[in-house]
Amino acid sequence: MAYTVLATMRRNNGKIDKYDDFICGSDYLEHVINGEINDNDTLLLFSIDGTQLYRMKQSDCWIYIWVILNLAPDKRYKVRHVLIAGCIPGPNAPQNTDSFLFPCLYHLAAIQNDGGLVVYDGQNLRLFHSQLCLVFVTADCIAMAEITHWVGHHGRYSCRIFCGLPGRHKAGAPHYYISLLKPDNYNVPGSSHPDIDITNLPSGSNEEYLQLLMNVIQSRGPTQFMRRRCDNGLSSATIFLGLNLALPIPLCFTGDIMHLEGLNIPQFMIGLWRGSQGGGSLSVICATTDSRRDWDWAVLADSVVWDVHGSEVADSTEYLPGCFERPPHDPSEKISSGYKATEFLTYLYGLCPGLLYEVLPHAYWKSFCKLVCSVRLLS
């Protein structure tokens, strides 16, 4: 697979026609060029997530799987090809996730240390060793923090690739936000760094990760540990350090674009437009120094306007292409009762730029369109 991409790059002066899979990534291609990954290797993706097995009862559990990346994208995620690695029973969340993952990862490490799997190639009548290469570790933000021992938004450096981009927090609040621009009249110790140039963002590396980890591990007491934990974004070593990884930590820990663009951003934006009238996950906390009456972007706060907007969303269904998996329902009726991620995607990034034109004040509408453009590019 990678050799086809490399051949295309040689013909096109280092350019790729279409970025459509992980094999187009420079980190992966460098490992192929250096001989660290070859055609005989089996490339794996590890993923873990929580699920509720039954709709009407408490049945939470956590399932982790292997995905074989050698298969084409239209096959690798089919149920028949996904390998169940294990299951953590519920309903309570696991207190030590590593203890459940250990048998599965120990098995992988044993195969790696023994030279790989012995495979018989029936077409060419040969035996060969296939090394198991773990390329990616995937999870949502909550599960990723558990398995990487990343402190997340309770640390000053909350980036999961440890790029060194500092966050900012409100006075007296523990939650850090990645705010590139320093807020007006803002002077919070440890968070009052100058504006950060978006065209010159730092990038993480394995060397930087290991340096931060050693800094935390070498803490000389609880007080120093808690300070370094916050400043470095780590609490301890991840169990995945014990494996031979195709991409080094933290590059193997992926981002979570599905929850971000399919759930988090839509719920946040709708909460703003509704003036936090949606309740539940649509609520936006209003600071004591603020007033919702001043929110000139809350154009859907009025229930009548919200109902009309919802009807316009529902009426758009007949104009959507048949390839759209699930047209969005009327959000004024269904937004709090099982609105699907695919509905949010079509609603927010497909319909809202048109439906909110000359409804949102132009400055906000223009900024929102930039968000829509960026999400479409990332997708």
- The contacts of residue 272 (CB under 8 Å, 6+ apart) are 284, 295, 297, 298
User: What was the pLDDT predicted at 277?
Assistant: 63
Query: Which residues are registered as beta bridge partners of 132?
Result: 42
Q: What is the per-residue pLDDT across 33-58, written as a single tens digit (0 to 9) for each?
A: 888 888 889 999 999 998 888 876 67
Tens-digit pLDDT profile for residues 102-136: 999 999 999 999 989 999 989 889 999 999 999 99
Tell me: the pLDDT tens digits for 307-355?
Answer: 999 999 999 999 888 777 789 999 998 887 778 888 999 999 999 999 9
Mean of pLDDT values over 219-230: 91
Give residue 157's pLDDT band: very low, low, confident or very high (50, 70, 90): confident
Q: Backbone phi, then psi, for 203, in 5-degree steps?
A: -130, 145
214 token code pair: 């050693």
What pLDDT is recorded for position 280?
63
Residue spans per domain, the chain? 40-143, 150-237, 257-378
The model's pLDDT over 274-300, given as tens digits with 9 standing for 90+, comes to 988 655 667 777 777 888 888 999 999
CA distance 248 to 327: 40
Q: At what angle do helices 26-33 and 2-11 cross, to 10 degrees?
A: 100
Token couple for 163: 């790029």
Split at pLDDT 50, 70, 90, the class of 215 is very high
Q: What does the DSSP 8-state code read for residue 211?
A: H
Full-model pTM:
0.83
